[in-house]
Amino acid sequence: MVIDKNLAKNNQHLFEKIKNVKLIITDVDGVLTDTGIYYSSDGEAFKRFSIRDGMGVERLRNLLNIETVIITGENSGTVKTRAEKLKISEVYLGVKDKLEVLGLIKKKNGVEEINIAYIGDDSNDYEIMLKCGFKATPNDGMSFIKEISDYVCEAKAGYGAFREIAELIISLKSENK
């Protein structure tokens, strides 16, 4: 994955937002997955996750001590299993009001809104994204989410969008220490 470092370095606004990031909150469907859900007669059977996105979670943790929090409207065992694999300890499933959970996340992690990066893609992410310091969306995020985002990925949801954002954050924070 190639991050256009010159674009990022020359965008002072982007750097100013990213330099404050201490925590990442991400939606699942439409960010970590390609928006597809495979159903069987027993209900949700599969979601597709990118291994590269998982490596982004690990690199953020290992290189910058930035943890990832999952917040999703779905109550999915698949998401819980993926979070366990990635050692993401803070997972909020079945959330109908993401903005309400933001207060809990801030308190638990000792951060302010300016310190939070949020990656979302659709209407249920809109209000919480407005509150966070850095906002990003996959390339196939909804147009109204793109309008409020600080960064729109080249990658699509489930195909490395989270990793792209992780590498952008790592690149900017590492070069400007």
Q: pLDDT tens digits for 118-164?
A: 999 999 999 999 999 999 999 999 999 999 999 999 999 999 999 99
How many distinct helices (H) and strands (E) make up the chain?
8, 8
Q: Which of 134, 50, 42 is nearest to 85 (CA)?
A: 50
- Tokens, residue 7: 């674009």
Q: Can you give the residue ranges of every domain in the chain?
A: 5-175
Banded pLDDT at 7 (limits 50, 70, 90): low
- pTM value is 0.91
CA atoms within 13 A on the CB side of 2: 3
Strand partners, 113: none
Q: What are phi and psi of 86, to 5 degrees?
A: -90, 5
Q: pLDDT tens digits for 60-97?
A: 999 999 999 999 998 888 899 999 999 999 999 999 99
CATH topology of domain 5-175: Rossmann fold (3.40.50)
